[in-house]
């Protein structure tokens, strides 16, 4: 049986700091080749070099010199599925509108395989009509957008506990991958 080829698209949300646990769980539970593509904003939260500890390959940056090996069409041909984990409101909006301002959104738009988004953002953003329209558009366009799990976290800036849409457990993500890769 051929190894499954999983691509994780990581965007600039504070929840990207949780990504190593997801990568570890995926590699532990699924015999796969695991690639992580991080946006520029994502590298502000966690360095691409750190993610290399848990992935077979990490694609970061937008440099044209990387295109011989990291051209979007080549990235698409090298993978079977893409999870955008976490997916920011900005990334959801780009793809919903057909925009490709970075390599991740270009790969998503060029994809010939399932793309699954795990949205993460503040509660006020999640409840905006524009965000909900974008999610609806993505679903109409054939993408899978998972309903986020709501978590309570202490917000140091506000000095209080706040609820916000967040990522599910790594078990939920692994089980979804196993289901979709059958």
- Residue 44, Cβ density class (10 Å: 0-12 exposed, 13-18 middle, ≥19 buried): exposed
Q: Check: CB of residue 174 under 8 Å from CB of residue 26.
A: yes
d(CA 72, CA 126): 29
pLDDT computed for residue 157 by the predictor:
81
The two tokens of residue 117 are: 């988004």
pLDDT computed for residue 1 by the predictor:
61
Query: Residue 48: which H helix or E strand, with range?
Result: helix 48-51
Query: Residue 155: which H helix or E strand, with range?
Result: strand 149-155
| Cα 83 off chain centre by | 5
- Name the residue among 30, 8, 5, 11 with its Cα closest to residue 175: 30
The two tokens of residue 151 are: 């978590």
Q: Tabulate helix, strand, coil % of the chain (nearest 5).
A: 45, 25, 30
d(CA 180, CA 72): 22
pLDDT computed for residue 14 by the predictor:
86
pLDDT per residue of the chain (182 residues) written in tens, 0 to 9: 689 999 999 999 989 999 999 999 999 999 999 999 999 999 999 999 999 999 999 999 877 777 777 889 999 999 999 999 999 999 999 999 999 999 999 999 999 999 999 999 988 899 999 999 999 999 999 999 999 998 887 778 888 888 888 899 999 999 999 999 98
**Cα-Cα end-to-end distance for the chain:** 11
Instruction: Tell me the domains of the chain and their CATH numbers.
Output: 4-180 (3.40.50.1950)
What is the dihedral sign for C-alpha 87, 103, 111, 38?
A: negative
pLDDT computed for residue 68 by the predictor:
74
- Name the residue among 98, 64, 59 with its Cα closest to residue 76: 59
pLDDT computed for residue 96 by the predictor:
98
Query: Residue 175: which H helix or E strand, with range?
Result: helix 170-180
Strand partners, 6: 34, 81
């Amino acid at each position: 049986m051929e190894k499954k080829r999983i691509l994780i698209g990581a965007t600039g949300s504070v929840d990207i700091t949780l990504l190593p646990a997801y990568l570890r769980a995926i590699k532990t539970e699924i015999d796969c080749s695991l690639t992580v593509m991080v946006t520029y904003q994502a590298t502000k939260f966690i360095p691409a070099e750190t993610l290399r500890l848990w992935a077979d390959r990490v694609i970061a940056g937008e440099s044209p010199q990387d295109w011989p090996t990291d051209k979007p069409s080549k990235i698409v041909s090298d993978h079977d599925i893409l999870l955008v984990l976490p997916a920011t409101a900005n990334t959801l909006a780009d793809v919903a509108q057909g925009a490709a301002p970075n390599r991740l959104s270009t790969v998503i738009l060029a994809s010939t395989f399932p793309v699954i988004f795990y949205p993460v953002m503040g509660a006020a953003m999640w409840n905006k009509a524009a965000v909900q329209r974008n999610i609806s558009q993505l679903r109409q366009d054939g993408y899978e957008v998972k309903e986020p799990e709501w978590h309570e976290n202490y917000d140091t800036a506000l000095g209080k506990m706040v609820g916000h849409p967040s990522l599910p457990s790594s078990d939920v993500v692994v089980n979804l991958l196993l289901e979709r890769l059958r």
